[in-house]
Structure 1
């Protein structure tokens, strides 16, 4: 009967079978498939349907939705490939290479899991990130499924691509009963993820005290991760007081470790956005200080750490008496706590900048912009010196700078200059990251493009503020350096294209109060600093093609006129054709732009000759000097 099916009929059948599987209509599926040729059935059941961000077969979507009867029908009657893989979504995560068993395990459908295993499903078939069905069940906390999978030879030692084990994910998610079962079955509590963290690090980070106790009972050690943080320090940094106090009570916890944990816990409460509590901050700072002087014969003095200007050059309290003077001085406690965090964790630890940024934001909210800038600058420098992305830092600066300009608050050019210099370095590093990382290339490209936008925001802001002659010269140098690295968007837009385009995105948190495109002042400045006025985007458009499309010529006449005139005076050719063979005047969306172009139309004999060569398809390759070939190609 399969021969009676033409491609259109099979296409319809695929949709119907998939919909029936998704909705649990087992009898309908049987009725549609039972007397068809095997080749037709295979084509229908192997077909992957894209829907709601998922790419699945009938078997996989039925397992994902817990449709046990559908699974039974497909496996018992139609020899469907039980190891088919697809792409599914779980808790906001996109899982590629997931089998039906993985989906049923992750979604908590025990009967479907049982059915699939009874029909021979591979209990250890991993996804593309090496996540097994057991890991999926551990993530969901389904002890019944975890137990069943282990009983049917699921390997609890298989870790995902980050070397994160099933025990680790259970600890992180807080599933104590699953953790207990895995430990009883021999799961090692001391396995390390690629970041150096163990199961104890993950449970301490999340504040799962009962799991921390359980891991300790099973002999978990307290190693340092790749950032030299023990589970105790991780708990203190995350504000998990009960975990800190428990680990500090253990005999193996040294006096120095206890002091550092208590002081770090207090410092966390002083500057953590989620756990801010100034009273608890002082309480734990005091406990730490009391511990230092608990034995008068063996006082543990603080290690020297050079004062940090961003923290007001705060020198930490050295005694209980000095600390008590700060009890009612919140600002002093905030700064002292930032200094304590940096001393204990070290400036290279990724967690150090977060509270610094939070405290800076608080200053910004109260219009204490200089304090904000000082703190954020420190945080940004810490991140960049450790080769961590500063994309959010750069945007954050453009937002607060815009706010200052909009409010009429004096903004020093030096601040904008410093941030822009870091931005240029970041663009260069963005390119290096993109070249080295195949897996996250798309995300890295998005960050790179966002940073190009932020650079333009900063340049517009720099042009808006008061500057002396030396600062004007320095700004031109910054623009030249920016242009020299040749930043380009994925559509081929150069910075000059972006500045000429009214559709260029502008951040809507304060930035759009100051920055808008097209921007004549920045376009003129970029041209003066060497921007390539004839650079082509992916459609062959030069900046002149872009600006003539500006759709608000009445209110923005001066902008339109200045940019067009600047481009023409700098040598932009009026007869350059884009890949649709259109010159700029043919791209005008308003008569105003056309009039401006025609008023300044000066087409040289050389341009006419180039157009004649192109229009008549005269061969010129390898017959002329390279610079003339490039010139002809533009036309």
Structure 2
């Protein structure tokens, strides 16, 4: 047998054994089969090591065995095959996926010990520790084996790891402590505190373990933390102390416990009762419970013996129907039979106590608006959502996911209403105000996004805002009634064209988007929404952009022009094609794949354009020069050089 065939056989046998190892590790609950162990033991140790450290889908055999909790295989791979005890494997977390897009996930690159802790197998954890693994190794996002055990509420594994050197004071990348990870298990919290965990340590949101215990309604942990010195007055980044969080989450039991245990100032007690009433009305509790809380707070506030200062007043807002907070008990009683008025009172009280820019205030504005949408009081819904949008743009800019979700919810509602031919909504002033709000500093934001590296979610949010702006143009053109309205639209769109506003991800211009059959992404706020009708390609929007000077032959990342996109069968609209050509679109400009509008249009049976008459002699000459490989650079005028280069495939 010649050496080449011999090496080939060795390689094939190597692959067979490697496949068999991974197959048995993935399927076996006990040890590897005797036959496979015999084959492995006949190989040199360094070959065995290569075999078992090979990865399938980002996971080695040892990592897979640890995920399954197989002690016998894991110990064999480490002791007999010298498997790398720290070789990481990949776990994918799709918990935060949005819009059914699988590119949005968290990648956990973790050690076999983390995998074993996740599987909850104490014997395997003991085996790995005994064989020398690093108990403090962390994943790519800062997670450790101890964090996994704490999250899984596995007291035995937590105790074993700590007793074998796990550092309980080392936080994860987001500042979360092991005490925070354990708040749903009072026994683990008690153990960590005895071992020296700091009960007042904060994460990146300035939240302590007590904040998280209140949010999760872990009553035993709340009592335990307070008994060991947790600060009940510590405020998070959002200004929430544990009492305020308890009021926001609507936990009467926790609120009553905190008020009975902590010596709060009388003013703080009153505000907690007021906020609790607002939460109860939001969660649709019996109105009598709501009125009881507000009456208690009113009596305490107006009692002269309490020496409480007068409460501040939120100025009348159109979004609230210019309603103001009740000033007397009679005014409150007068609202007792009007649930809608009581819920508006709840919004007023929340804004006074939490602030208009508090995340809970904004979220409840959105949810209250959704109620009005369901009950077909669309203008009230739009007013509330627009208030939330103004605050979010000011606080977070248009790049924040919450801002983007709010924009999508409003635009989607307006599009659906326009499709229903409702003469009252949407109103021009609302759509125009929203357009101005989103574009006031969009050029500066696009420049910031051009600086690398850029957060992928911010890129996606920015491009989503551009698609929403296209829909707003469509809405504005449909509801505009006067010449002044049209002048306002043209002036606003002209600013976008002059600033060359483009998609960050694809480098498409607004004109590219206007001729593409794109859909409005679903809002993440409300999951009961039906699909919105698609309005693109859109001839009026295309004409508007062209009239404002949008470059008709602009290229995107694939060097496709708007005409090329419009010429694809799924985008084809005859009037849009004609309009682009009338404004100077070239039929023969190729993209990176060599596709040209002319070749695409030849495949469409409905096409009525005489392609030969639309391609100029100048374009034909440029194509001949390119195809023939004639040297032209620095030999023709610069304007002609650029024209010829545009006909090349790069």
What is the CA–CA distance in structure 1 between the aligned matches of 2:251 and 2:638, rounded to whole Å? Answer: 67
Shift of 1:551: 5.3
Corresponding position: 1:22 with 2:33: no
**RMSD across aligned C-alpha pairs, in angstroms?**
2.7
SS of the equivalent of 1:96 reads strand
1:73-112 CA-partner distances (Å, limit 9, x unpaired): 1122122111111211468474523001111112311111
The answer to whether the Cα contact below 8 Å between 2:298 and 2:329 also exists between their aligned partners in 1 is: yes
Shift of 1:136: 0.6
Corresponding position: 1:150 with 2:165: no
* Gap runs ≥5 in structure 1: 554-558
Shift of 1:401: 0.7
The answer to whether the Cα contact below 8 Å between 2:215 and 2:246 also exists between their aligned partners in 1 is: yes
Partner of 1:556: none
What is the CA–CA distance in structure 2 between the aligned matches of 1:117 and 1:297, rounded to whole Å? Answer: 61
Distance 1:516 1:476, change over 3 A: same
SS of the equivalent of 1:192 reads coil
What is the CA–CA distance in structure 2 between the aligned matches of 1:4 and 1:593, rounded to whole Å? Answer: 57
Partner of 2:251: 240
Partner of 1:285: 294
SS of the equivalent of 1:56 reads coil
1:361-407 CA-partner distances (Å, limit 9, x unpaired): 11111111111111000011111111152111111112211222122
Equivalent position to 1:181, from 191, 205, 208: 191
Partner of 1:100: 112
The correspondence of residues 420-431 of structure 1 with structure 2, limited to 5 A, is 420-425=435-440, 431=446
Shift of 1:455: 2.1
Partner of 1:36: 43
Equivalent position to 1:164, from 176, 179, 184: 176
The correspondence of residues 319-358 of structure 1 with structure 2, limited to 5 A, is 319-358=328-367
What is the CA–CA distance in structure 2 between the aligned matches of 1:538 and 1:286, rounded to whole Å? Answer: 63
Shift of 1:634: 1.4
Shift of 1:119: 0.9
Partner of 1:225: 236
- Which is further off, 317-326 or 119-128? 317-326
SS of the equivalent of 1:40 reads helix
SS of the equivalent of 1:572 reads coil
Shift of 1:529: 1.9
Equivalent position to 1:129, from 141, 144, 159: 141
- Which is further off, 471-480 or 543-552? 543-552
What is the CA–CA distance in structure 1 between the aligned matches of 2:587 and 2:543, rounded to whole Å? Answer: 18
Shift of 1:277: 5.4
Distance 1:276 1:413, change over 3 A: farther
Distance 1:437 1:101, change over 3 A: farther
Shift of 1:5: 5.7
The correspondence of residues 482-521 of structure 1 with structure 2, limited to 5 A, is 482-483=496-497, 484-488=499-503, 490-502=505-517, 504-507=518-521, 514-521=533-540
SS of the equivalent of 1:41 reads helix
What is the CA–CA distance in structure 2 between the aligned matches of 1:351 and 1:109, rounded to whole Å? Answer: 40
Corresponding position: 1:88 with 2:91: yes
What is the CA–CA distance in structure 2 between the aligned matches of 1:302 and 1:31, rounded to whole Å? Answer: 82
- Which is further off, 258-267 or 516-525? 516-525
Distance 1:4 1:488, change over 3 A: closer
Corresponding position: 1:259 with 2:270: yes
- Which is further off, 605-614 or 355-364? 605-614
Partner of 1:477: 491
Equivalent position to 1:13, from 2, 7, 17: 17
What is the CA–CA distance in structure 2 between the aligned matches of 1:314 and 1:259, rounded to whole Å? Answer: 22
Partner of 1:549: 568
TM norm structure 2: 0.88
Distance 1:362 1:100, change over 3 A: same
Distance 1:80 1:432, change over 3 A: farther
What is the CA–CA distance in structure 1 between the aligned matches of 2:110 and 2:228, rounded to whole Å? Answer: 33
Partner of 1:442: 456
Distance 1:359 1:27, change over 3 A: same
Partner of 1:46: 53
Distance 1:42 1:436, change over 3 A: farther
Partner of 1:454: 468
What is the CA–CA distance in structure 2 between the aligned matches of 1:268 and 1:532, rounded to whole Å? Answer: 53
Distance 1:529 1:14, change over 3 A: farther
SS of the equivalent of 1:87 reads strand
Distance 1:472 1:276, change over 3 A: farther
1:475-521 CA-partner distances (Å, limit 9, x unpaired): 2223223333422263443332233233x234578786553332222
Distance 1:594 1:374, change over 3 A: closer
1:422-456 CA-partner distances (Å, limit 9, x unpaired): 33358557647756785x83333332332222222
The answer to whether the Cα contact below 8 Å between 1:223 and 1:230 also exists between their aligned partners in 2 is: yes
- Which is further off, 490-499 or 468-477? 490-499
Partner of 2:411: 398
The correspondence of residues 407-418 of structure 1 with structure 2, limited to 5 A, is 407-409=420-422, 410=424, 411-418=426-433
The answer to whether the Cα contact below 8 Å between 1:406 and 1:513 also exists between their aligned partners in 2 is: no
Structure 1 stretches of 4+ moved >6 Å: 508-511
The answer to whether the Cα contact below 8 Å between 1:533 and 1:570 also exists between their aligned partners in 2 is: yes
Equivalent position to 2:76, from 52, 73, 77: 73
What is the CA–CA distance in structure 1 between the aligned matches of 2:304 and 2:429, rounded to whole Å? Answer: 50
Distance 1:154 1:91, change over 3 A: farther
Distance 1:535 1:20, change over 3 A: same
* Gap runs ≥5 in structure 2: 1-5, 96-104, 523-527
SS of the equivalent of 1:88 reads strand
Distance 1:603 1:596, change over 3 A: closer
